[in-house]
Structure 1
Amino acid sequence: MQGQAAAPAAGTVLNALANGTGSAFAIDEYTTATVELRESGPVEGTVAEDPDADTRLIEACVERVVEDFGDGQGGTVRTESDVAMASGLKSSSAAANATVLATLSALGEADALSREDACRLGVDVARDVGVTVTGAFDDASASMLGGVTVTDNTTDDLLARDELSWDVLVYTPPERAYSADADVGRCRSVAPMADLVAELALDSEYARAMTVNGLAFCAALGFSPDPMVEAMDRAAGVSLSGTGPSFTAVGDRDALAAVRDVWSQREGRTWLTTTQTEGTRIT
């Protein structure tokens, strides 16, 4: 009774903390979950990159899937990720998505849920565990379905989904920022800008939308906009990702390579990747 799944990370077009509408796009970096079930007992989780990491989310995802589709099984779940935790690249959403599909696979129930409903299950668990303020249906749907999604996080409705072929530049500073610790009041103060970003996103103006989002949320969350300014004259769009500290820029690969040369002078990790349109998959 073993299953494995891989879920892509994601970057932000619109942070949902301001007005409940969110948008994100999947990138070609992954979190993989391996689930091994036994007839009974507890569920024990481990995170390969950090033996002391909080494993409540992945454990609770296994427990919820077993509750709905299993027969009291226990077991283990282990995640490995290409992206750092609490870096703004949706590692929690990717971990939940991969764990849900891996557990369904281990139970022989891979087709029991649609991808959207499997995503919603993980979002419900994330809310219950308290690792997210909004439920992060925008982040989770981009990771589960691939491409770029626009969502209403207050109702978990998918408003739009597109498939885009972007090159993506990612900069991750060494510090970490947990979304559950974000100042929600300050984020809601930029709701007028978030409303504009939502309009742009629903008009498929994703690159312009993410730049407006980035400027607004750098101000709300206290991040320097300098990485954005360094990219604006070359990238099609650039934004703070999630509640930080990572930044993502999209556009032409040669132009992004020039931005990489600038961002690489900063402390942290900078790398080029692409968008991902397949979403989470059982492996």
Structure 2
Amino acid sequence: MKETGQAVAYGAVSILNALSTGKGGALSIDLSTRAKVVLREGHGPILSDNGHPKSPSNLATLVVSKMLEYYGYAGKVHGQVQTSSNIPYAVGLKSSSAAANAIALATASALEERVQDTDLVRIGMEASIESGVSLTGAFDDAIASFHGGANITDNKNRRVEKILEIPADVQICVLVSSPRESTIGLEPSKYSSIKRILELAYNEALNGQIWDALTLNGLAYSSILGRDSRPALCAIEAGALGAGLSGKGPAIVAVTTPEASEKVRKALKSFNGQLIETRPNFNKASIEL
């Protein structure tokens, strides 16, 4: 055991929100969470020093505890986990998936143990559910955060259905307004009224119409959640390839070509909120030496 491990994992935006249909899709973005895990021999607690003061610290401690149990170290070591991130918390940019993946990978590094990617992602998902930051573990988000790129998934059966091809030169503008919303207390049955629209979005994504799927999904969830759809519609009018709510929001994501990016940014800046400019991420979560 080398005692200290560090790792990075990435945020993502929704292509398909799986709450209604069980079919999800997410695109990894170039915003990240870094985790540092320090372990010492001997029984004791796992302490957390979060990079997001408002985020649940029990997610971090649960991930570490589950990783220790996985390797047979439960009750034999104690330590501390620290995270830092430029992903806004609880706005729909998959901050919890990024944190869980980074912490799990950093723990494996601190223990000098190898882990299968599927097991690492599963442990992070289980911790997310148990800590209350996710209803389902968000398999699509976890996969995009860990592997990079974009995917379509069967979240109920935790199976990747398709890896999507994303142009490397697209740009992503994210408008983050308030209020933020926690996953805790939200029921999937609330979204049954938009199921038919979401099934259409799923078929569009499977057929390669990724940005149309993102738009349909985002507008449908905006309607049921009472989110303002005007920023997404204005971004599309300004030339965005697609735009819509990410997750349950409040983040609105707009995907654009470099040529249309200035007009799209200007359209989004006409609304209140923080504008974040990023791009797709194609890197896998990794241990940092």
What band does the TM-score fall into relative to the shorter chain? over 0.9
The answer to whether residue 105 in structure 2 is matched with residue 101 in structure 1 is yes
Partner residue, 1:232: 236
Mapped contact 2:46–2:65 kept (Cα < 8 A): yes
1:213–1:100 Cα change, 3 Å: same
For 2:49, the equivalent position in structure 1 comes to 46
Is this contact kept in 1: 2:197–2:220, CA < 8 A?
Answer: yes
- How many angstroms apart in 2 are the aligned matches of 1:23 and 1:275? 14
* 2:130 counterpart of 1:125: no
Q: Are 2:56 and 2:133, in contact at CA under 8 Å, matched by a contact in 1? A: no
Tell me, yes or no, if the aligned pair for 2:132 and 2:183 is still in contact at 8 Å. Answer: no
Shift of 1:86: 0.5
Q: Distance in 1 between matches of 2:55 and 2:14?
A: 24
Residue of structure 2 in register with 1:277 after alignment? 282
Question: Aligned-pair distance for 1:266?
Answer: 2.4
The equivalent residue for 2:164 is: 162
Q: Deviations over 1:193-251 (max 9, x none)?
A: 11111111222221110000011000111101101111112111111000100011112
CA distance in 2, matches of 1:90, 1:104: 22
- Which ranges of structure 2 fall in alignment gaps of 5 or more residues? none
Q: C-alpha deviations, 1:128-156, integer Å up to 9, x for none?
A: 22221122001111000100011111111
Deviates more, 1:89-98 or 1:62-71: 62-71
After TM superposition, the runs of 4+ consecutive aligned structure 1 residues lying more than 4 A away are none
Identical aligned pairs, as a percentage?
36
Matching residue's letter, 2:31: E
**Aligned counterparts of 2:60 and 2:240: Cα–Cα separation in 1:** 35
Question: For 1:279 and 1:154, how far apart are their aligned partners in 2?
Answer: 23
Select which of 6, 21, 24 maps to 2:23: 21
Specify which of 57, 61, 68 is matched with residue 55 of structure 1.
57
92-101 vs 179-188, greater mean Cα deviation: 179-188
Aligned residues: 280
For residue 92 of structure 1, what is the aligned residue in structure 2? 96
Q: Which residue identity is paired with 1:208?
A: D
Equivalent position of 1:171 in the other structure: 175
Secondary structure of the residue that 1:261 maps to in structure 2? helix
* Pair 1:163–1:75, CA change in 2 (3 A): farther
**Normalising by the residue count of structure 1, what TM-score does the alignment of the two structures yield?**
0.94
Structure 2 CA distance for aligned equivalents of residues 38 and 189 of structure 1: 51
Supply the AA of the counterpart residue of 2:174. V
Q: Over the residues paired in the alignment, what is the CA RMSD in angstroms?
A: 1.4
Partners of 1:163 and 1:26 in 2: CA distance: 12
The one-letter amino acid paired with 1:169 is: C
Match of 1:182 among 186, 194, 205: 186
Gaps of 5+ in 1: none
Check conservation: 1:146, 1:163, Cα contact below 8 A: no
1:258 aligns to what? 263
